[in-house]
Amino acid sequence: MYRNLQAYLADLERRGELVRVREPVSAELEITEIADRLVKREGPAVLFECVEGKDFPLAIGLYGTAPRAARALGVPHLDALAEKVAELLELNPGKGGLKAALSLLPKLGQLKGFFPRRVSRAPVQEVVLRGEAVDLSRLPVLKCWPLDGGPFITLPLVITKDPGGSGELNLGMYRMQVLDKRSTAMHWQLHKVGRRHFDAAKRLGKRLEVAVALGGDPILTYAATAPIPP
C-alpha cells in the first residue's frame, strides 16, 4: 500500500497512468465531462494543474479502473480485499476464552498499523487559515452535472465522534454541497453513522464537531466508503 496520496500519484506517473494537464480548465462541468469520457474507456487518471480561479490543483480518476483501484489498496484484485476485510472482522479475542485468543497469534501481523497513530505535527498543519481567511471558493470543488444545485465535494473523508460519551469515532464519506465561502450542506442518509452522531448531538442540545479531510491516502478513502463497523 502507499504511505500517502503523493506516493500513489508518483507511482501512477511512473507507470504512465497519470496525465498532467497544464492548460486552464473549468471546475464547472468541464473537468467532470473530461473525466467521464476517460473513465468510460478505462483511460488514465488526470492531474489538472491549473483550475480556473482556484488556488489548488485537482486529481481525478485515481481509482477509475478495477486494476488501478486494487493496486492502490495493495491487493491483486478487489475480491481479495473483501476477503481480507471479512477475515479481520472475525478477529474477536473476547469470544471463546484463552484458546480463541491464542488462535489469533498467527494473525497479529495483519493488525500492524491497524490503529490510528497520534502525532504532534502533520503535513496537513503546514498552512492554517482561520476566521475571515477561510474561503472554500479557493478549492477546486466541482459542479459535476448541469442540474446540480452547485459545486459538491464528492470524495471527502468525514470524521465524527459520538457526543454521547462512548468515544466512538467514525470515518464516512458524504457528499457536501458548498453553499458559500464558509459553509456546506452535509448529505448523510438516515442509516449512516455520521447521521447517528448528529442526531445524538441534537438530543443533547450540542453542536456536532466534524472534521473533513480531502486527499487522504487510498486505503482511508476505501475505508470511508466500506460497509464495515465504525
DSSP of 55-91, one letter per residue?
Answer: SS-EEE-TT-SHHHHHHHTTSSSHHHHHHHHHHHHT-
Out of 71, 99, 122, pick the residue that ends a domain.
122
Q: Are residues 20 and 39 in the same domain?
A: yes
pLDDT (0 to 100) of residue 143: 97
Q: Do both 100 and 149 map to the same domain? A: no
Lowest mean pLDDT among 46-50, 182-186, 218-222: 218-222
- Last-in-domain residue among 122, 151, 180: 122
**pLDDT reported for residue 3:** 82
- In a domain, residue 230? The reply is no
Q: Determine the pLDDT at residue 219.
A: 86
Residue 21: give the domain boundaries.
1-122
The total domain count for the chain is 2
pLDDT score of 167: 83
Residues 48, 20: Cα–Cα separation, whole Å: 6
pLDDT (tens digit per residue) in 52-92: 999 999 999 999 999 999 999 889 998 888 887 777 766 65
Q: What one-letter code names the amino acid at 8?
A: Y
Are the CB atoms for 65 and 91 separated by under 8 Å?
Answer: no
Verify that 93 and 197 share a domain, yes or no: no
Q: Are residues 114 and 8 in the same domain?
A: yes
In tens, the pLDDT along 10-54 reads 999 999 999 999 999 999 999 999 999 999 999 999 999 999 999
Mark whether 132 and 93 lie in a shared domain. Answer: no
Whether the CB-CB separation of 29 and 2 falls below 8 Å is answered with no
Q: Is residue 39 part of a domain?
A: yes
pTM: 0.84
CA dihedral over 32, 37, 40, 41, signed as positive or negative: negative
190 in the same domain as 130: yes
* CB 158 within 8 Å of CB 43: no
pLDDT band, very low/low/confident/very high, at 208 (cuts 50, 70, 90) = very high
Q: Which residue has the cell 500513489?
A: 8
